[in-house]
Amino acid sequence: MNILIKSATILDSKSDFHNTTQDILVENGLISKIGQNLKNPKKYREITFENLHVSQGWFDSSVCFGEPGFEERETIENGIKTASLSGFTTIALNPNTNPVIDTSSDVAFVKSKAEKKAVNVLPIGALTQNSNGKDLAELFDMKNAGAVAFYDYKKPISNPNLLKVALQYASNFGGLVCSFPQENQIAGLGVMNEHVTSTSLGLKGNPALAEELQVARDLFLLEYTEGKLHIPTISTAKSVALIREAKQKKLDVSCSVAIHNLYFSDENLIGFDTNFKVTPPLRTQTDIDALIEGVKDGTIDMVTSDHNPLDIELKKIEFDHADYGTIGLESAFGALQNIFTLKKTISILTSGKGRFGISASPINEGNPLNIALFNPNGTYEFGNEYIVSKSNNAIFKGETLKGKVYGIVANKKAVLK
């Protein structure tokens, strides 16, 4: 791939050209020259956009597609297109497919479908067979096939001994174990946060305690096993405090939060819109404030879109019976910019790679080009015209978001709007 990117403001603290506006000459996928007013004697394709900014390619640690088995929700091919046009060059793909990704051959299938694409798709293998929480899956074999972590997506490990064994076993080969933070017997049949709003709406509540008990349990198990744990999508102030304390004790723990849990509260459910039905549930403003502070001080390692496409039959039904989940790749950048500064937004979108074994590629001469292209200015109302996913279950629909993503250039391919 040979291109010349014109007048791009580089936002990359690891780059020699950070916070400067430059032309970037790319030859055979490598950055051959960065400078101002570069010539183009070989007539390479020139890329120009209004108020163009570039950063290292973005990473999302929790993305669902559907294929194999749920192609009506999303295919790998269109999912990659969605990620590309949303600025993401690397995604960790959850195993909630049919069949569940719980063997090395399943991992190999996903990798083969995503081979030679602009987006680097990293499969997460199921922690237990068929994600049923009973017997460990083929963790070592899946690791060798390319799995970057092990997680029964949105399914808590109720048996503490099973998680203990998983942490001990995976530590032999540096495997990253993920544990969804919910104690099901406490959560019960709750469909939203247990608080004043759930009472006024007459909906069963899922208390913050259900998450916090599980987080505390898992951290005790981590301390005992000296393993490597990732706690995905926390949602409460107490969870932040527990993980902050664990990090002070030097436990090998990381965690993430979903963007929508930083943005919306349980009061957004007053209209019974099932797009707001997510798990963990939307909590209170107190929780939101603590989560945002956790992102700012580094307690929370990464922010995820928690992108989970669902077909309309699973959402356009009575609230109690609707499935949990929202798409989020397309709205991630614009939503984050409503909460954080541009500098912090880019830091968030490019963080977390190391935890999943991904090496960064700074925007410097001689390095492979792996970038997101965007305009941080301007606002727009997020609606159907901005959705690339096959599914339409978007929690941010109708929200005014900030900034525009142009696409990515990565893996010797350009995917641009």
Active site (catalytic) residues? 306
Distance CA 292, CA 340 (A): 9
Q: Phi-psi category of 398—alpha, beta or left, where left has phi over 0 and alpha has psi -120 to 50? A: left
**Which residues, listed in sequence order, are joined to residue 254 by a DSSP beta bridge?**
230
**Dihedral through CA 115, CA 120, CA 125, CA 130, nearest 10?**
-60
d(CA 259, CA 410): 24
Q: Write the DSSP string, 205-263.
A: EE-HHHHHHHHHHHHHHHHHHT--EEE-----HHHHHHHHHHHHTT--EEEEEEHHHHH
Type and span of the H or E element at 291 = helix 285-297
Q: How far apart are the C-alpha atoms of 369 and 18, rounded to whole Å?
A: 15
CA 417 to chain centre: 22
Angle 376-19-380 from CA coordinates, rounded to 5°: 5
- What are 258's two structure tokens? 């979903």
**Separation between Cα atoms, residue 61 and residue 328, nearest integer Å:** 12
Alpha helices per DSSP H over 338-414: 342-349
Six-digit token pair at 298? 């580094």
Burial of 293: CB neighbours in 10 Å, binned 0-12, 13-18, 19+: middle
Residue 346 pairs in a beta bridge with none
Report d(CA 333, CA 385) in Å as an integer: 16
CB 401 within 8 A of CB 334: yes
- What's the CA gap between 347 and 341, in Å, rounded? 10
CA separation, residue 84 to residues 33, 227, 387, 393 (Å): 24, 34, 13, 19
Residues paired with residue 414 on neighbouring β-strands, in sequence order:
409
